[in-house]
Amino acid sequence: MAKKTVNIALVGNPNTGKTSLFNALTGLKQKVGNYPGITVSKKEGFAKITAGLEANIIDLPGTYSLNPSSIDETIVLNYLLDKKNKPDIVLVVAEVEHLKRNLLLFTQIKDLGYPAILVINMADQLDRKGISIDIEALKKQLDSEVVLVSARKNKGIDQLKQVLANHKMLPSQALIKGEAIDKDLFETLEKIVPNQPLYISWLALTHPEVSLLSAEGQKKLNDLALSKNKIKQLQNRETIVRYQVINTILKGIYIKDYMKGSGLRSKLDRILTHQFWGYVIFFLILVTIFQSVFAWASIPMDYIDGLFSDIVHLLEQKLPAGKLTDLITQGIVPGIGGVLIFVPQIAILFFFIALLEETGYMSRAVFLMDKVMRKFGMSGKSVVPLVAGTACAVPAIMATRTISNWRDRLITILVTPFTTCSARLPVYAIIIALVIPDKTVGIFNLQGLVLMILYLLGFFMALLSGYILTWFLKQQNKTFFIIEMPSYKIPSFRNIFIRIVEKTKAFVFGAGKIIFTISIILWFLASYGFYTKQDVSNYEETLLEKKRSPKALDAAVANYKLEHSYIGTAGKLIEPLTKPLGYDWKIGVGLISSFAAREVFVGTMATLYSVGGQDDEGTIKERMAAETNTETGKPLYNLPVGMSLLIFYAFAMQCLSTLAIVKKETNSWKWPLIQLFGMSGFAYLMAFITYHIFS
């Protein structure tokens, strides 16, 4: 028998465990792509239903209804109404405790004419929450299949698959008649757009911004000329009617004992949302996260660093000397290492962020921080991007999509790159290790303290620039802020694990590509330049007259080549700009290349010092420590230079991937350019001041 494939769309309210169900059905057979034209990630997975039936499952963003108020929610509407790629079946995920509210979306999906299955998740909580549901009666009332599952425990998945196997039998009748909302209007709709579910025409009427009908049909609808207020009243009416129908359906079918089940929530909320202790706990959580990231990640990072320098060493011995070997040992291998070294930090940060979201804590943080964030032109929901920004600004900026107000969202996007992302960490780590003494001040390690200050400086700058931006960007629409406070849950480690894998993969293959490519280009630019063989041998002759040791001679020649390479020439060209900050031309080269991505700095230094280096052994740090200032003969990386570099990297906008994502999310070059020049100009100024304070 030939295999058949059905397309299944997963929809549901946020916090219903939709992703858990998706993970339970597909395991790791998932891929993350993009919806055409927008950067919202599209999660697809593959599941085997029966021997002869396979399913392609699309996990749509969480939404409370088909009346969208954010970009994520608009995707659901567009996807379900796209005539070309209609899913065969829609799974509507609900959960036991909020079934009534979840049914609002379910009735809307039914009214679109889809064969819909109601999947009631968290069935293992029924007893504990004092809830009983008469499933058979509910099936009858909803004229649909209903399946009880507990996705996190893999229970009920088989029954769901059985229902999916018989998907041809699923009814697809609308549940709610339009007359109850507005009789005349719905009769008119029937006449204007016959032969299609009335609810689709209704959505086309109320959401003229999304094109759902043919141009002709849409024009006829527009001729009805309903005012915005009228539409809003009708939508309210629709909501009330739907709740009336749902209440009638659930009468006697869904029984909840209100004495049971809310104990844990109120106990935890009393502390976690407390007017004083809530903030103390939030602050402690943040400190714990950043401390752990630094403490836990340093071990695997040192290991990766050491491993790659061993590989380079080994390859240099085994491979025949030549340009190709140089490309591998000085360009490609350090390039891969430069990408992989971030994996521990990104994985650990996303572990914590996933943990906070999985347990339900993140919404409490949003609740606590809303008032504070509003002062800085943002909303409580900006907390998530700002915390995620400490891993990487790219996913953080994508996480701003839940902010429905455009101005708040724009400000959040603009200031997020100030938060200390993991790409800054290797730069900070290496410079701190070079210039800050490893000693204890009070109870703090001085190096750790400087790092902590840099983190706080990032947040401080994000808030400060948010505040400044409120002078220029005025609120245009009314801002609405509603956030659901989900119940507390024990996190599912499968969900967390899948999330970590997904984010890490996205980093390695997304930003990683840029870093890797640049490493190779840099090697090329450092290995070739504006000099001929003749120039080099002429230079060698001048040296020979001075009677140096062979080793010093080699080093001098290598330095000569580097200085006259393409990149060395560029570094020298901008030296008038970098000198006031205390940098030599090599650091200048590092700065230029960092505009592709900050972490490239470390890789560039590695490339520069291995191309021009005196010996091939030792880590990057050792090579940098050995570097001397040609004018003073003292170590180049002293306190003023180090502090000035730290400040520059803290403030400058040096990340191509971030600029690209800002362009996509704001749909304009204006904002990324403002970030690039605004942040970097400010960074230059502050680095200049810092250098002179410490000199």
Partner 1 sequence: MTIADLNVGDIAQVVACKATEIPLKLMEMGCLPEQKIKILQLAVANGPIYLEVNGSFIAIRKETASQIQVKYLKQGANG
The contact set with partner 1 (CB under 8 A) reads 64-65, 67, 69, 97-98, 100-101, 104, 229, 232-233, 235-236, 239-240, 243, 256, 265-266, 269-270, 273-275, 363, 366-368, 370-371, 380, 479-487
Q: Which amino acid is at 526?
A: A
Instruction: Record the tokens describing residue 484, joined without a space.
Output: 């659901």
Rounded to 10°, the helix 71-81/198-206 angle is 140
Q: Which amino acid is at 10?
A: L
Q: Which is nearer to partner 1, 374 or 505 (CB)?
A: 374
Measured from the CB of residue 369, what is the shortest distance to partner 1 in angstroms? 9
Measured from the CB of residue 268, what is the shortest distance to partner 1 in angstroms? 11
Q: Are 586 and 571 in contact (CB under 8 A)?
A: yes
Can you tell me which residue has the tokens 């570099």? Answer: 645
Instruction: Record the tokens describing residue 608, joined without a space.
Output: 């520069």
- The C-alpha atoms of residue 14 and residue 62 are separated, in whole angstroms, by 5
- The C-alpha atoms of residue 692 and residue 643 are separated, in whole angstroms, by 10
Q: Which is nearer to partner 1, 103 or 348 (CB)?
A: 103
Q: Which is nearer to partner 1, 406 or 595 (CB)?
A: 406
Measured from the CB of residue 458, what is the shortest distance to partner 1 in angstroms? 24
Measured from the CB of residue 240, what is the shortest distance to partner 1 in angstroms? 6
Measured from the CB of residue 487, what is the shortest distance to partner 1 in angstroms? 8
Which is it for the CA torsion 659, 592, 522, 505, positive or negative?
Answer: negative
What is the side-by-side strand order in the sheet with 53-59?
30-34, 41-50, 53-59, 4-12, 89-95, 116-121, 145-148
- The C-alpha atoms of residue 607 and residue 590 are separated, in whole angstroms, by 10
Measured from the CB of residue 567, what is the shortest distance to partner 1 in angstroms? 52
Measured from the CB of residue 138, what is the shortest distance to partner 1 in angstroms? 17
Backbone angles phi, psi at 9, to 5 degrees: -105, 135
Q: Which is nearer to partner 1, 378 or 436 (CB)?
A: 378
Can you tell me which residue has the tokens 């699923």? Answer: 170
Q: State the DSSP string of 625-661.
A: HH-B-TTT-SBSS-HHHHHHHHHHHHH---BHHHHHH
Measured from the CB of residue 65, what is the shortest distance to partner 1 in angstroms? 5
CA atoms within 13 A on the CB side of 86: 11
Residues 162/164/165/171 CA torsion (nearest 10 deg)? 110
Measured from the CB of residue 209, what is the shortest distance to partner 1 in angstroms? 15
Q: Which is nearer to partner 1, 281 or 652 (CB)?
A: 281
Q: Which is nearer to partner 1, 372 or 573 (CB)?
A: 372
Q: Which amino acid is at 357?
A: E
Nearest to 18 by CA among 145, 98, 164, 122: 122
User: What is each CA distance from 530 to 328, 342, 444, in whole angstroms?
Assistant: 23, 35, 50
Measured from the CB of residue 52, what is the shortest distance to partner 1 in angstroms? 40
Instruction: Record the tokens describing residue 668, joined without a space.
Output: 């304009």
Q: Which is nearer to partner 1, 470 or 487 (CB)?
A: 487
Q: Which is nearer to partner 1, 38 or 483 (CB)?
A: 483
Characterize the bridge pairing of strands 116-121 and 145-148.
Answer: parallel
Q: Which is nearer to partner 1, 219 or 270 (CB)?
A: 270
CA 79-663-72 angle, 5° bins: 25
Q: Which residue pairs, CB below 8 angstroms and at least 24 apart, start in 268-274?
A: 268/488, 269/364, 269/485, 272/361, 272/364, 273/364, 273/367, 273/368
Tell me 147's DSSP state: E
Q: Which is nearer to partner 1, 258 or 472 (CB)?
A: 258
Cβ-in-10-Å burial (0-12, 13-18, 19+) of 16 comes to: buried
Whole-angstrom Cα Rg for the chain: 30
Q: Are 392 and 381 in contact (CB under 8 A)?
A: no
Q: Which is nearer to partner 1, 467 or 671 (CB)?
A: 467
Measured from the CB of residue 645, what is the shortest distance to partner 1 in angstroms? 39
Q: Which is nearer to partner 1, 97 or 111 (CB)?
A: 97
Measured from the CB of residue 256, what is the shortest distance to partner 1 in angstroms? 8
Measured from the CB of residue 492, what is the shortest distance to partner 1 in angstroms? 21
Q: Which is nearer to partner 1, 46 or 406 (CB)?
A: 406
Measured from the CB of residue 23, what is the shortest distance to partner 1 in angstroms? 25
Which is it for the CA torsion 498, 503, 508, 509, positive or negative?
Answer: positive
Q: Are 364 and 637 in contact (CB under 8 A)?
A: no
Instruction: Record the tokens describing residue 176, joined without a space.
Output: 């709610």
Q: Which is nearer to partner 1, 185 or 674 (CB)?
A: 185
Characterize the bridge pairing of strands 131-133 and 116-121.
Answer: unpaired
Cβ-in-10-Å burial (0-12, 13-18, 19+) of 544 comes to: exposed
Q: Which is nearer to partner 1, 283 or 303 (CB)?
A: 283
